[in-house]
Copies of this chain bind each other. A is one copy, B any other.
Amino acid sequence: MGERAYNFGAGPAMMPDAVIERVAREWQDFRGEGYSAMELGHRSEHFADILARAKADLRALLDVPESHHILFLHGGATPHFAMVPLNLAQPGESADYIHTGYWSDKAMAEASALVNVRIAASAADSEFDRVPDRAGWQLDPAAAYVHICSNETIGGVEYDGDPDTGNVPLVADMSSNILSRPIDVARYGLIYAGAQKNIGPAGLAIVIVRDDLLERVRAGVPSVMKYARHVEWDSMYNTPAAFAIWVAGLVFEHVRKAGGVTEMARISVEKAQKIYAAIDASSLYINRIQPASRSRMNVPFFLREPRLEQRFLDGARRRGLLNLKGHRATGGMRASLYNAMPLAGAQALADYMTEFERKNG
Chain A interface (Cβ within 8 Å of chain B)?
Answer: 1-5, 7, 9, 11-15, 20-21, 23-24, 27-29, 32-36, 38-44, 74-79, 81-83, 86, 110, 113-114, 194, 196, 200-204, 220, 222-225, 237-244, 247, 320, 322-323, 328
Q: A24-B28, A35-B14, A322-B35 are in contact. Are A224 and B2 (CB under 8 A)?
A: no
Cross-chain contact A42 with B12 (CB below 8 angstroms): yes
CB distance from A206 to the nearest CB of B (A): 13
Cross-chain contact A238 with B33 (CB below 8 angstroms): no
Cross-chain contact B28 with A1 (CB below 8 angstroms): yes
Cross-chain contact A239 with B39 (CB below 8 angstroms): no
Cross-chain contact B34 with A15 (CB below 8 angstroms): no
Q: A5-B33, A27-B27, A203-B241 are in contact. List 5 more A-B contacts (CB 8 A).
A: A9-B41, A20-B27, A44-B323, A74-B74, A203-B203
Cross-chain contact A29 with B7 (CB below 8 angstroms): no
Cross-chain contact A241 with B238 (CB below 8 angstroms): no
Cross-chain contact B238 with A78 (CB below 8 angstroms): yes
Within the assembled complex, what's the spacing in Å between the Cα atoms of A82 and B68? Answer: 27
Within the assembled complex, what's the spacing in Å between the Cα atoms of A40 and B203? Answer: 12
Cross-chain contact A224 with B41 (CB below 8 angstroms): no
Contacts of A113 in B (CB 8 A): 220
Cross-chain contact A76 with B239 (CB below 8 angstroms): yes
Within the assembled complex, what's the spacing in Å between the Cα atoms of A3 and B28? Answer: 10
Contacts of A9 in B (CB 8 A): 39, 41, 44
Selected from B39, B86, B239, the residue in CB contact (under 8 A) with A203 is B239
Within the assembled complex, what's the spacing in Å between the Cα atoms of A177 and B81? Answer: 34
Selected from B23, B24, B38, the residue in CB contact (under 8 A) with A247 is B38
Selected from B7, B11, B38, B238, the residue in CB contact (under 8 A) with A75 is B238
Q: A41-B12, A243-B202 are in contact. Are A28 and B20 (CB under 8 A)?
A: yes
Within the assembled complex, what's the spacing in Å between the Cα atoms of A322 and B224? Answer: 31
Within the assembled complex, what's the spacing in Å between the Cα atoms of A9 and B320? Answer: 42
Closest to A110 in B: B223
Cross-chain contact A242 with B12 (CB below 8 angstroms): yes
Within the assembled complex, what's the spacing in Å between the Cα atoms of A155 and B36? Answer: 27
CB distance from A73 to the nearest CB of B (A): 9
CB distance from A319 to the nearest CB of B (A): 11
Within the assembled complex, what's the spacing in Å between the Cα atoms of A114 and B220? Answer: 8
Cross-chain contact B79 with A194 (CB below 8 angstroms): no
Cross-chain contact B5 with A35 (CB below 8 angstroms): yes
CB distance from A3 to the nearest CB of B (A): 5
Cross-chain contact A222 with B39 (CB below 8 angstroms): no
Cross-chain contact B222 with A110 (CB below 8 angstroms): yes
Cross-chain contact A21 with B15 (CB below 8 angstroms): no
Cross-chain contact A12 with B38 (CB below 8 angstroms): yes
Contacts of A194 in B (CB 8 A): 239
Contacts of A11 in B (CB 8 A): 41, 239
Cross-chain contact B74 with A203 (CB below 8 angstroms): yes
Contacts of A202 in B (CB 8 A): 40, 42, 239-243
Contacts of A223 in B (CB 8 A): 78, 81-82, 110
Cross-chain contact A34 with B20 (CB below 8 angstroms): no
CB distance from A81 to the nearest CB of B (A): 8
Contacts of A12 in B (CB 8 A): 38-42, 242-243
CB distance from A247 to the nearest CB of B (A): 7
Could you list 21 examples of A-B contacts with CB < 8 Å? Answer: A2-B33, A5-B35, A9-B41, A11-B239, A12-B38, A12-B243, A13-B41, A15-B38, A35-B322, A38-B200, A40-B202, A42-B202, A43-B328, A76-B238, A79-B224, A81-B223, A82-B222, A83-B222, A203-B239, A203-B243, A222-B225
